Structure 1
Amino acid sequence: MNMTLERGNAFTPVASAAMIWPWGASVIGGTVAGALSFLANFGLAGIPAGVTTGIFFFALIGGVGGVLSKKSDRRGRRWAASYPFRYASAPALLGGGATAVVSYIVSVITDFAIIGGLFGGLWTGLGVGLALWLIIGVVAMVAGDKK
């Protein structure tokens, strides 16, 4: 089993992200960023803005922190450095998918836009996912441990 993990044959982006994800830092960072966003957009509009900002920073800190942290699993860091954009796909899907769901729910509740909200939520989620994928992938490619 260890040989396949070392060679990267049986490793997936989700397994790599889960093994090296700094859960504490990403939860705290997402919570702080979401709270600051809520305070900046105080009122009813601040709730979805705070939630989506918190989701974005949770995925960003988790994805980048997993690659940069020396406390995380060595095999996961090595795999992430060898396949940076495959590794970045897991946090990007998490952040983009969660943002799409929140955006859709908000548009249905506020505008009763069931179909239009679906396309708007998907578009927003794709944008967030693409941004996360690029940022985390580039960081993993440049700063990854390739030893």
Structure 2
Amino acid sequence: MTLERGNAFTPVASAAMIWPWGPSVVGGTVAGALSFLANFGLAGVPVAVTTGIFFFALIGGIGGVISKKSDRRGRRWAATYPFRYAAAPAMIGGGAAAIVSYIVSVVTSFAIFSGIFGGLWTGLGVGLTLWVIIGVVAAVAGNKK
């Protein structure tokens, strides 16, 4: 497999190979439900969805690096290239947050064109936050052996 040599391997393949799907789905669902209960009402739904997506990507990204059940070659690649690995969960979380933010701005204020910029700004913020957190954890706690 090309994973050992480091050529022709993408961060998306690494993230998909070592992603702990069960804990990340449960963690995202619990975080979203708790966020909805904290912001009860119709306005709390988009916040809860965005919070659930954020924690889904965060738990999946960090869990893939520190879990001993995932593929050892994928963990080694993620620890060797931590910020390349962190790009995939950051794109998932940031892209989903941008889409939710855009849909909310269109539904609430019919801001079709100006909502694009708000959604992109929100997605960039969420993606950058996830990228930094997951990259630092992968660099520090990753198993390079």
Please report the TM-score for the alignment, with normalisation by the length of structure 2: 0.99
Structure 2 distance, partners of 1:146, 1:73, is 13
Give the number of equivalent residue pairs. Answer: 145
Match of 1:69 in 2: 67
Q: Identify the match of residue 48 of structure 2 among 23, 47, 50.
A: 50
| One-letter amino acid matched to 1:26 | S
Please report the TM-score for the alignment, with normalisation by the length of structure 1: 0.97
Q: Kindly state the Cα deviation for residue 106 of structure 1 after the two structures are TM-superposed.
A: 0.4
Match of 2:121 in 1: 123
For residues 73-105 of structure 1, what are the alpha-carbon distances to aligned partners after superposition, in whole Å with 9 as ceiling and x for unaligned?
A: 001000000100000000000000000000000
For residues 40-64 of structure 1, what are the alpha-carbon distances to aligned partners after superposition, in whole Å with 9 as ceiling and x for unaligned?
A: 0011111000000000000000000
* Cα RMSD after superposing both structures: 0.5
Q: Kindly state the Cα deviation for residue 115 of structure 1 after the two structures are TM-superposed.
A: 1.1
| One-letter amino acid matched to 1:34 | G
Whether 1:41 and 2:39 are equivalent positions in the alignment is yes
Q: Kindly state the Cα deviation for residue 5 of structure 1 after the two structures are TM-superposed.
A: 1.3
Match of 1:78 in 2: 76
- Larger helix percent: 1
| One-letter amino acid matched to 2:115 | G
| One-letter amino acid matched to 2:131 | W
Misfit runs of 4+, over 4 Å:
none
Q: Structure 1: state its 5+ residue gaps.
A: none
Identical residues among aligned pairs (%): 84
1:1-147 alignment runs, 5 A limit = 2=1, 4-147=2-145
| One-letter amino acid matched to 2:87 | S
Q: Structure 2: state its 5+ residue gaps.
A: none
